[in-house]
Structure formats: structure tokens, C-alpha cells
């Protein structure tokens, strides 16, 4: 049988790095093929070459056995290649039908298109209402729109780039059913991910890429997560040591019945949120992004102040009316989800970026900066968190995303805060570096710091947290100890199916 797609010696060289180095890959009709690799391994570059977004410097593409040069994405679509991107490209103010019509290359009539959307979406178990405006849809449903948009063009090869990062476990299962059905009908699927369990559950074969080269192919069903990870990273994964002392009971951060209307019209209103984070514990907030996490974080960091001081207390001190600097004075450290432009200043060096929040560590004397101390702090941060950089005098925006995340997280952790709030602390960070960050957070907890982690990665939350809550639609569930719950239950809550809530939220009710 002829492979649906065959790549031979695909190479792409950028001025500073060889993104793809003689990559070979072949995928048969009806095969679900995983492309596994860390961030920066070259997965995305490879996919863009297949989809015609960038031109390879060397190598051949054989499509159904015929050599082709894919000139642009429209050409790729005509051949029968569809791609679902990691980041959505939908217009929020348009309906589902209008969004899909925009992506269709040929002209089509809107009323007929709506009918087709309904038929195809039901056929694959992903029902969609074509007339809904996109901004009213949850993230999971938006992804359905992207998938249906591809399926309407009846692709022979579907490329999916990290499709599950925004889905609940239940939604992931639904999507997997759809993908399996597609494969049974003969469609080939290239599935890009770094989530090992998903690949083992779904894929028939896997190609593992490291540093732009193929390091191996495997049958995922015959491998273990550890063996796949070793091929992906080149070494064994250290597990986070969880020698946890008894969790603390002294409250550090307390939120009392916080309600707030969103300022942005597409934002989420916060609805009667109460929460306590104790010293020496890590509390995780799970949830699909866009359910009030950003709004809650802005209130917690002090970037959004409230008129009612008692709504938030830090170590017993009313703090809701204080700005970020004053809250840091009470012992808060904060890792925001956006790195460049918020967590770090582009154009300034690593040393100068240390001063942004760590200036309290003796870097200011009589109003003057002490750059030697900042440099020492930066060197310590780079060393402790294995930040890969040329020098601490390089501009911070020369770091890769993962390294910038390590740098910012490290800068906050090294301040030895009484309270650490971290949003997506390992987002976009490769497996090894994520472990360094998680270990540091656990170490901080063991020294008595209260830690609040907001993450979309359930695996991460289950690995490091002592207690979990779920945020959905701007509401919080009561907290549960990690040992007393599982991904299934948390997944249901993330979908908005909350346990029965007592009229007045109480910490003791569930724990």
C-alpha cells in the first residue's frame, strides 16, 4: 500500500538554529500517527512545511506516492490536508457559519453551509449550532468549530497541533472517539502532543523528535510513559520528590465572598468566591481557561484593587484595597501567565528584569540602584533554575519561552515569599524544566510558604497540589484534598457540573 504522506530528508535551517534536520516520516491511510517532542524540538516547523506555510530548504514530500511541492495552505487544502491549530483563529463577533464560510476556499451559500455544518457535526458526534455567535461558546466548543471547519473539506490528512490543552478529560474522550472514527474511514491523522498518556491511548505509531532530528519511531501501545519520555528528552525523568510534611492549618491567603462584574464584555464575572490557602500547602485551581482565572488573578495580584479591604486578607491583614507593591510588602510573589510585557520587560537585560520585582532584596539604597546585587541575584536565578541564556546582560526577550518562564518563576521563588501565586507556572516549558519548577514550588511549600497554583494541566495539579478547587463560569467548587478525588470528578466540575453547594460556602463542608 502506498503511504498517504511520505517525508524524506525534510530540512529547515534558520540563521541561528536548524529547526528540522533530515526528517523522514511516513503515514498510511487510516493511521493515527503521533509526533512527539519537547517544545522547540521542531514539531511545529515540520507541520508548517507539510501545510505549506513555510518552504523546506531540502527534502521531498510524496503525497499518495506522487512528489509534490506544497506552495501554500490553500494548495495544501486542495490536496486534502487539513490542520487544526493550537491557537484558535475565530472571529468572536461572527456566528459559527460565518466563521466557517470565511475559511472555505470556494464560494458557498450560507444556508446550505449551515445545514452541512449541522449534518457533519452530528455525524462525528460533535454537535454544533451553526447560528451561535462564537464569543458565547466555551473553549471546547470553539475547538469543535475548528475541527468541523477542517472536516467539511473532507481531508485525507488531518494535522492536529496540541488539541487537548484546553479540554476536560471527558471532552478529550469525545474527541478521541471522533478521531478514531475518522481514521476508520481512511483519513490519516498526524497528532502532535507532548502528553504521553494521550498518545499511548490514541495513536498507532509515534515518531519522536529531539533537537530537530528523528530519535526514534515506536508503537506507543508497547511503550511505557517513562520509555517514551526518555526518547523525547534523552534522559530519565526525575520525579518530583513528595516528602510532604503535614499540611499547615494556619491561613495565609483568605478570600471572603468575592463577587465582581467583568470589565471586559467577553470577560467572566466572579461569583461569590471564597477560598483559604494555608501556610505550607499548595492549593490548585483547575479549570478551562476563560472561566474567570484572569479576572481572579488580577484581583489577587492587586493590579485590580477593590474598595472592600476585608475581601482579601494576607496573613490576617486586609489587602483587597492595596496595590501590587504593597501586597508584595506583605509577602506576596506572583508569576503571571503572560511573560513578555507583563512578567518581564522586553528590551531590558536579565539583570534589569530582576529589579522589576526583586528590588526589595537590597537592590535599592537611598533611592539608587545597586546593580551588582541585581547581577548576583540574576546569576543565582540562572544557575538555580538552569535558565539557558548567553549572558545575564542579554535582553530578556532573547530567551526562548520556556527559559523566560524559568527565569520569571525563579525570580519570584528566590524572594522566599510567604505567599506565592503562580499562573500556569510550567506552560510551554519542556518536561525537564517543568520538573525543576515544580520541585522548587514544592520546596517552597515545605519551608512553610502558602502556594496557589492556577493551571489547565490536570496532571501538574495532581502531581504537586495538596488540595484542589475548580473554577467554572466564575464560580469555585469547595476544596477537596487531592487524595480524595480523581481526574474524572475534577473533569466533571470543570465542565460546570458542580457538586451540591451549601448556601454559604464553608471550607469544612467537604474537607
The least CB distance from residue 200 to another protein, in Å, is: 30
Determine contact, residues 39/212, Cβ cutoff 8 Å. no
Q: Which of residues 62-81 bind another protein (CB under 8 A)?
A: 72-77
Determine contact, residues 455/286, Cβ cutoff 8 Å. yes
Contact with another protein (CB under 8 A) among 58, 325, 484, 497: 325
The least CB distance from residue 398 to another protein, in Å, is: 8
Give me 177's grid cell.
472517539
Q: Which residue has the cell 492556577?
A: 454
Distance between CA atoms of residues 55 and 480, nearest Å: 50
Residue 373 binds another protein (CB under 8 A): no
Backbone angles phi, psi at 126, to 5 degrees: -125, 65
Contact with another protein (CB under 8 A) among 65, 238, 347, 362: 347
Residue 368 binds another protein (CB under 8 A): yes
Contact with another protein (CB under 8 A) among 3, 28, 59, 85: 85
DSSP-derived letter for residue 396 is G
Residue 269: C-alpha distances to residues 186, 217, 260, 293, 494 (Å): 45, 47, 6, 10, 16
Backbone angles phi, psi at 110, to 5 degrees: -60, -40
The number of residues making up the chain comes to 511
Determine contact, residues 389/399, Cβ cutoff 8 Å. yes
Which of the ranges 112-120, 262-270, 277-285, 325-333 carries the binding residues for another protein, by CB under 8 A? 325-333
Angle at 350 between CA 349 and CA 356, to 5 degrees: 95
Residue 357 binds another protein (CB under 8 A): yes
Q: How many Cα neighbours within 13 Å face the side chain of 156?
A: 13
- DSSP characters for 1-29? ---SEEEEEEEEE-SS-EEEEEEEEEE-T
Contact with another protein (CB under 8 A) among 135, 239, 261, 342: 342
Q: Which residue has the cell 503535614?
A: 246
Q: Which is nearer to another protein, 206 or 332 (CB)?
A: 332
Q: Which is nearer to another protein, 21 or 303 (CB)?
A: 303
Give me 238's grid cell.
526525575
The least CB distance from residue 364 to another protein, in Å, is: 5
Q: Between 380 and 419, how does the x/- string for binding to another protein read (CB under 8 A)?
A: ----------------------------------------
Which of the ranges 139-147, 175-183, 324-332, 429-437 carries the binding residues for another protein, by CB under 8 A? 324-332
Q: Which is nearer to another protein, 315 or 397 (CB)?
A: 397
96-103 helix and 139-151 helix, angle to the nearest 10 degrees? 40
Which of the ranges 108-116, 185-193, 362-370, 449-457 carries the binding residues for another protein, by CB under 8 A? 362-370
Count of chain residues binding another protein (CB under 8 A): 42
Residue 376 binds another protein (CB under 8 A): no
Residue 12 binds another protein (CB under 8 A): no
Nearest C-alpha neighbor of 12 from the set 55, 51, 43, 50: 55
Q: Which helix (H) or strand (E) holds 453?
A: strand 450-454
Residue 306 binds another protein (CB under 8 A): no
Give me 467's grid cell.
488540595
Q: Which is nearer to another protein, 77 or 438 (CB)?
A: 77
Q: Which of residues 89-128 bind another protein (CB under 8 A)?
A: 89, 102-103
Q: Which is nearer to another protein, 150 or 451 (CB)?
A: 150
Contact with another protein (CB under 8 A) among 94, 133, 348, 361: 348
Which of the ranges 198-206, 339-347, 417-425, 497-505 carries the binding residues for another protein, by CB under 8 A? 339-347
Radius of gyration of the chain (CA): 24
Residue ranges in contact with another protein by CB under 8 A: 15, 52-53, 72-77, 85, 89, 102-103, 301-303, 323-328, 334, 336, 338, 341-348, 352, 355-357, 359, 364, 367-369
Amino acid at each position: 500500500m502506498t503511504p498517504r504522506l511520505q517525508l524524506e530528508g525534510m530540512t529547515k535551517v534558520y540563521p541561528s538554529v536548524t529547526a528540522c534536520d533530515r526528517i523522514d516520516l511516513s503515514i498510511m491511510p487510516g493511521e493515527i500517527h503521533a509526533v512527539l517532542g519537547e517544545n522547540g524540538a521542531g514539531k511545529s516547523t515540520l507541520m508548517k512545511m507539510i501545510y505549506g506555510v513555510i518552504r523546506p530548504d531540502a527534502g521531498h514530500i510524496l503525497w499518495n506516492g506522487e512528489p509534490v511541492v506544497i506552495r501554500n495552505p490553500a494548495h495544501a487544502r486542495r490536496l486534502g490536508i487539513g490542520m487544526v491549530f493550537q491557537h484558535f483563529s475565530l472571529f468572536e463577533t461572527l456566528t459559527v457559519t460565518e466563521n466557517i464560510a470565511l475559511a472555505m476556499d470556494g464560494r458557498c451559500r450560507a444556508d446550505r453551509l449551515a445545514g452541512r455544518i449541522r449534518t457533519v457535526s452530528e455525524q462525528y458526534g460533535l454537535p454544533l449550532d451553526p447560528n451561535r455567535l462564537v464569543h458565547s461558546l466555551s473553549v471546547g466548543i470553539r475547538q469543535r468549530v475548528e475541527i468541523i471547519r477542517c472536516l467539511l473539506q473532507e481531508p485525507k490528512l488531518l494535522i492536529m497541533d496540541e488539541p487537548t490543552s484546553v479540554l476536560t478529560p471527558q471532552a478529550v474522550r469525545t474527541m478521541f472517539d471522533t478521531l478514531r472514527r475518522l481514521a476508520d474511514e481512511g483519513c490519516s491523522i498526524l497528532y502532535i502532543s507532548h502528553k504521553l498518556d494521550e498518545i499511548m491511548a490514541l495513536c498507532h505509531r509515534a515518531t519522536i523528535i529531539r533537537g530537530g532530528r528523528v530519535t526514534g519511531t515506536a508503537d506507543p501501545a508497547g511503550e511505557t510513559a517513562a520509555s517514551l519520555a526518555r526518547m523525547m528528552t534523552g534522559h530519565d525523568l526525575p520525579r518530583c520528590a513528595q516528602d510532604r510534611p503535614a499540611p499547615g492549618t494556619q491561613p495565609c491567603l483568605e478570600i471572603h465572598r468575592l463577587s465582581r462584574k467583568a470589565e471586559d464584555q467577553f470577560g467572566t464575572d466572579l461569583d461569590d468566591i471564597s477560598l483559604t490557602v494555608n501556610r505550607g500547602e499548595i492549593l490548585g485551581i483547575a479549570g478551562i481557561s476563560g472561566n474567570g482565572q484572569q479576572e481572579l488573578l488580577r484581583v489577587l495580584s492587586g493590579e485590580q484593587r477593590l474598595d472592600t479591604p476585608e475581601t482579601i486578607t494576607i496573613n490576617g491583614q486586609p489587602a483587597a484595597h492595596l496595590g501590587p507593591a504593597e501586597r508584595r510588602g506583605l509577602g506576596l510573589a506572583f508569576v503571571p501567565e503572560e511573560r513578555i510585557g507583563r512578567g518581564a520587560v522586553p528590551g531590558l537585560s536579565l539583570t534589569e528584569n530582576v529589579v522589576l520585582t526583586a528590588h526589595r532584596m537590597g537592590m535599592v539604597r537611598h533611592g539608587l540602584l545597586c546593580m551588582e546585587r541585581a547581577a548576583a541575584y540574576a546569576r543565582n536565578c540562572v544557575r538555580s533554575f538552569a535558565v539557558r541564556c548567553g549572558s545575564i546582560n542579554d535582553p530578556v526577550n532573547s530567551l526562548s519561552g520556556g527559559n523566560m518562564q524559568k527565569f520569571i518563576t525563579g525570580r519570584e521563588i528566590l524572594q522566599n515569599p510567604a505567599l506565592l501565586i503562580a499562573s500556569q507556572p510550567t506552560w510551554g516549558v519542556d518536561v525537564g524544566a517543568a520538573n525543576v519548577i515544580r520541585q522548587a514550588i514544592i520546596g517552597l511549600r515545605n519551608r512553610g510558604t502558602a502556594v496557589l497554583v492556577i493551571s489547565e494541566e490536570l496532571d501538574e495539579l495532581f502531581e504537586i497540589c495538596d488540595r484542589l478547587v475548580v473554577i467554572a463560569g466564575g464560580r469555585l467548587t469547595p476544596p477537596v484534598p487531592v487524595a480524595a478525588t480523581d481526574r474524572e470528578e475534577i473533569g466533571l466540575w470543570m465542565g460546570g457540573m458542580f457538586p451540591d453547594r451549601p448556601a454559604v460556602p464553608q471550607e469544612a463542608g467537604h474537607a
